[in-house]
Structure 1
Amino acid sequence: MPLNAEAVRACYPALRDGAAYLDGAAGTQVPDAVIEAIAAAYRTGIGNVGGPFAASHRSDAIVAGCRAAVADLVGGTADGVVLGPNTTTLVYRFAQALSATWRPGDEIVVSRLDHDANVRPWVQAAARTGTLVRWAEVDPVTGELPTGQYDTLLTDRTRLVAVTAASNILGTRPDVPAITAKAHAAGALTFVDGVHATPHGPVDVTALGADFYATSAYKWSGPHIGAVAADPALLDTLRPDKLASSSDAVPERFETGTAAFADLAGVTAAVDHLAALDDTAAPTGSRRERLLASMGAVETYEKELFRTLLQGLEELPRVTLYGKPAARTATAYFRVAGHTPAEVAHHLADRRVNVWHGHNYAWELTAALGLRDTGGAVRAGLVHYNNADDVARLLAGVAELSS
């Protein structure tokens, strides 16, 4: 069944301000259920974990519930979900832990398609350990990440392959299962950045071949919490730096400091919200089953809406769209001749259409496209609460500049 967009939009109080929120690739708005879950945690009373009193028990339950919710969302296991303040912090955490075993002459493979958060931590760790960095290149015309190049990039010294499940500016969905299969055949581990991919369709970390899968709740209607899902047995082989007094159990050994417990309650609420987006899914099914149905509906809805957005931009004079990947999320990156990306974004903001401009942390990709040093481009992205009116307002605003 089609997604009921207007019913979904009614769940988001921020949308009542009348703006067209096409900035979801940088962070989504949150539904009432998430706001209430966070408020309820504070209202009810929470304490630090591991105590003998009720408020501490509530925090214990919140943490466990959050791990289970993220596991259901991505197809992992709760005891393999590491939580943190954001994905960038967690990637640095894992880069430190994984590179502890790298030696001079070892190699890693990173890609020009990725957000810098899945590039720089690995490159910097490689520099510290004498590890060689090999680069998977992007086709600047199509925006594709050709899979065949990994046949020559991988060697018996490759220790890690880091790759995105979707580009945060072009929307490109590379063939991650094929890439990870090649990596595993070479004996390497895989770290998949799912931050941009997760909001746009069903996720199965096993099918992707991801040894580590990173995601950020604030990209799928939750608070600012990051997570990495992995096999607990694999996590148990890693020894990150930690306080002597903190837990050495998995996954807690990767989590420094006290968690934002109320926000973790909000993460669970966000997953439950996503699981309910397809109101035709069997209410008696597991949350994982309902998530697969709902996120499938999200993917179908966004594709239809994005077709209108993309066609509209293509038909406007003086508009250049970047990337034409065969598989992509509903994310457009474009320029309008005669106007800087910043000017376009400000023009749209004056019309209450929210978009981003610049490199959007796609540092290597914008350089490969020849855009990084000249202001990048304008990014407009759809999520499940956008509608046809949002798209029409974007196209009308861009048409005022392109005509």
Structure 2
Amino acid sequence: MAYDVASIRSGFPSLESGWAQFDGPGGTQTPRAVGDAVASVLTGPLSNRGTVGVSEERAEAAVHGFRLAMADFANAHPRGIVHGRSATQLTYDFSHHLSKGWRAGDEVIVTSLDHDSNIRPWVQAAERVGATVRWAEFDPATGELPVEAVTTLIGERTRLIAVTAASNLIGTMPDVAAIAAAAHATGALVWVDGVHAGAHELPDLDALGADFLTCSPYKFLGPHCGVLVSRPELLETIAPDKLLPATQVVPERFEFGTLPYELLAGVTAAVDVLAGLATTAHDGTQTTDAAHSRRTRLQASYEALHEHEERLRLRLEAALGELPGVTLHSRAARRTPTLLLTFAGHEASAVTERLAAGRVLAPSSNFYALEASRRLGLGDAGGLRVGLAPYTDDDDVDRLLAGLAEVLGTPVE
């Protein structure tokens, strides 16, 4: 089935604002179905989880539905799905949990390609116990993080490797599976930041070889929260500090306090929207094929999404190559449709402001990928980031290119 972007866009009330949104890497727009799911749970009968009365049952159903949805999304077990306030919070929490077993002389590997949320928690945890941090550097000329840049650092004392599945700054997608295989050969754990990747490539915990995978639903049409995906048997070996009455059951032992049931319902709805991208009818509704699992429908949707985004990316890059003074820093052979741009004679932030005057949103920053921005020679300022999303269409691209051409002093043909 063809990718019907017009029908998909009809499910996003925010797009009626008239803005062309290229800020998806920082958080996508939210479809009506997700907002409806949040409102329904929040305003209906609701109390703490249990089996007595409809309010307890609805809370229980929200949690159960969330774990099933995210398990389908990441090809994992529902008992391996942990909710958190954000991916950053989950990474900090688990850096404390895991580093309890680290000792002086142990080693942790981080990469300069990563968002700081997959660097600083591990660096700080290593500092607390006297462990050594080893840095894997990406090539700023190509944007690539070669497998050997990581694997040559692995030794007998390596305890954990933290690596991104896709750079939120320049889109580079390292060969995580190869890195994970080398890590596991020495008994090291692999923590994968899948926050940016999950919006463009359907994650698969086993195929990645990840021991832990984080993602953020608000990057793929959902509400603001974070999710950790792991194997239940691995989570069983980890003992967090917790309140005495709190359960020891996995994954609940890692979820402190009352869960936000309405957000969990929103995540489930977002996964269902994603699963329907390839089955969206012309009136904006979704047709569900009961003969296919949600995971199968997600795979079909992501294949269609990839084709849609790849076509727009190639068109965009070709046009950018005709504009004067534009440097494209997103160069890796395998990458997401996320472009980092700088401009000769123009500050990126100034270009962002000029585009915004025409209701085109393309933010400028280092986007918390501080080490990557510095390694690219862009300092802490970073560049202008253009991110494609499921609702991006050709008109959006036209408006972006026209705005850039105007700013850079080039007439639009």
TM-score by length of 2: 0.95
Q: Is structure 2 residue 349 aligned with structure 1 residue 338?
A: no
Q: Is structure 2 residue 50 aligned with structure 1 residue 50?
A: yes
Q: Is structure 2 residue 112 aligned with structure 1 residue 126?
A: no
Q: Is structure 2 residue 289 aligned with structure 1 residue 291?
A: no
* 1:124 partner amino acid: Q
Structure 2: give runs of 5+ residues left out of the alignment: 281-287
Q: 1:150 offset after TM fit, Å?
A: 2.5
TM-superposition CA deviations, 1:5-61 (whole Å, max 9, x none): 111001101001110011000001111110110111123221112363320111011
Aligned identity (percent) is: 49
Indicate conservation of the 8 Å contact 2:151/2:179, yes or no.
no
* 2:21 partner amino acid: Y
Distance 1:393 1:18 in 2: 11
TM-superposition CA deviations, 1:149-178 (whole Å, max 9, x none): 233200010000110000001010111111
The equivalent of 2:363 in structure 1 is 356
* 1:173-184 correspondence to structure 2 within 5 Å: 173-184=173-184
Q: 1:401 offset after TM fit, Å?
A: 1.9
* 1:394 partner amino acid: L
Instruction: Identify the range of structure 1 (172-181 vs 307-316) with the bigger mean alpha-carbon deviation.
Output: 307-316
The equivalent of 1:269 in structure 2 is 269
Q: 1:283 offset after TM fit, Å?
A: 4.1
The equivalent of 1:12 in structure 2 is 12
The equivalent of 1:372 in structure 2 is 379
TM-superposition CA deviations, 1:48-98 (whole Å, max 9, x none): 123633201110110111011011011111110000111110010111111
TM-superposition CA deviations, 1:181-210 (whole Å, max 9, x none): 111112101011100000102221100001
* 1:400 partner amino acid: E
Distance 1:323 1:43 in 2: 44
Distance 2:379 2:350 in 1: 16
Distance 2:290 2:49 in 1: 32
TM-superposition CA deviations, 1:346-383 (whole Å, max 9, x none): 1111110011111000011001011123x210001001
Indicate conservation of the 8 Å contact 1:140/1:323, yes or no.
no
Distance 2:150 2:219 in 1: 29
Distance 1:50 1:89 in 2: 27
Indicate conservation of the 8 Å contact 1:193/1:215, yes or no.
yes
Indicate conservation of the 8 Å contact 1:164/1:193, yes or no.
yes
Distance 1:190 1:14 in 2: 38
When the two structures are aligned, how many residues end up with a matched partner?
Answer: 402
Q: Is structure 2 residue 377 aligned with structure 1 residue 381?
A: no
Q: Is structure 2 residue 393 aligned with structure 1 residue 393?
A: no
* 1:70-109 correspondence to structure 2 within 5 Å: 70-109=70-109
The equivalent of 1:62 in structure 2 is 62
Distance 1:152 1:393 in 2: 45
* 1:222 partner amino acid: G
Structure 1: give runs of 5+ residues left out of the alignment: none
Distance 2:201 2:305 in 1: 6
Aligned residue for 1:278, secondary structure, equals helix
Distance 1:314 1:124 in 2: 41
